[in-house]
Amino acid sequence: MALEALSSNELLNFIIYDSISAAPYSCNDSSDTTSLLPQENVGGCSSMARLNHPPVVVETTQKPQDLAVQSRKKRRRRPKVCKNKEEAETQRMTHITVERNRRKQMNEHLAVLRSLMPESYVQRGDQASIVGGAIEFVKDLEHVLQSLEAKKFSLLQHAATAENGGANHNTNDSIKVLTNNPFAQFFSYPQFSCSNLPNKYTSQNKAAIADIEVTLIETHANIRILSRRRIRQHSKIVSAFQTMFLSILHLNVTTLDPLVLYSISAKVEDGCQLNSADEIAGAVHRMLRIIEEEVILCCQS
Dump pLDDT digits (tens) for 9-51.
555 554 554 444 444 444 444 444 444 444 444 444 444 444 4
Q: Return the top range by mean pLDDT from 20-34, 77-91, 171-185, 233-247.
A: 233-247
Dump pLDDT digits (tens) for 96-120.
999 999 999 999 999 999 999 998 8
Across the chain, what does the average pLDDT equal?
Answer: 75
Dump pLDDT digits (tens) for 129-147.
999 999 999 999 999 999 9
| % of the chain with per-residue pLDDT over 70 | 62
Please tell me the predicted confidence (pLDDT) of residue 28.
46
Residue 94 DSSP one-character state: H
pTM of the predicted protein model: 0.61
Segment among 52-56, 81-85, 262-266 with least mean pLDDT? 52-56
DSSP readout, 110-152? Answer: HHHHHHHS-GGG-SS-SHHHHHHHHHHHHHHHHHHHHHHHHHH
* Cα–Cα distance measured from residue 25 to residue 17, given in angstroms and rounded to the nearest whole number: 6
Please tell me the predicted confidence (pLDDT) of residue 148.
92
Contact 192/211 with Cβ under 8 angstroms?
Answer: yes
Overall average pLDDT of the 72-94 stretch: 71
Residue 4 confidence (pLDDT) above 60? no
Overall average pLDDT of the 161-189 stretch: 68
Q: Which of 181, 230, 208, 201 is nearest to 285 (CA)?
A: 208
Is cis: bond before 198, omega within 30 of 0?
no
- HSE-up of residue 11 (Cα within 13 Å, Cβ side): 15
| pLDDT confidence bin for 77, thresholds 50/70/90 | low
Dihedral, CA of residue 238, residue 244, residue 245 and residue 246, to nearest 10: -50
Taking CA atoms, 5 is separated from 9, 17, 69, 125, in Å, by 12, 21, 48, 103
User: Regarding predicted confidence, which is higher, 123 or 246?
Assistant: 246
Residues whose CB falls within 8 Å of the CB of residue 99, separated by 6 or more in sequence, listed in order: none
Residue 63 confidence (pLDDT) above 80? no
Contact 150/116 with Cβ under 8 angstroms?
Answer: no
Please tell me the predicted confidence (pLDDT) of residue 215.
94
Residue 199 confidence (pLDDT) above 90? no
Helix or strand or coil: residue 261?
strand
Residue 26 DSSP one-character state: P
Alpha helices for 164-267 (secondary structure H): 169-179, 233-243
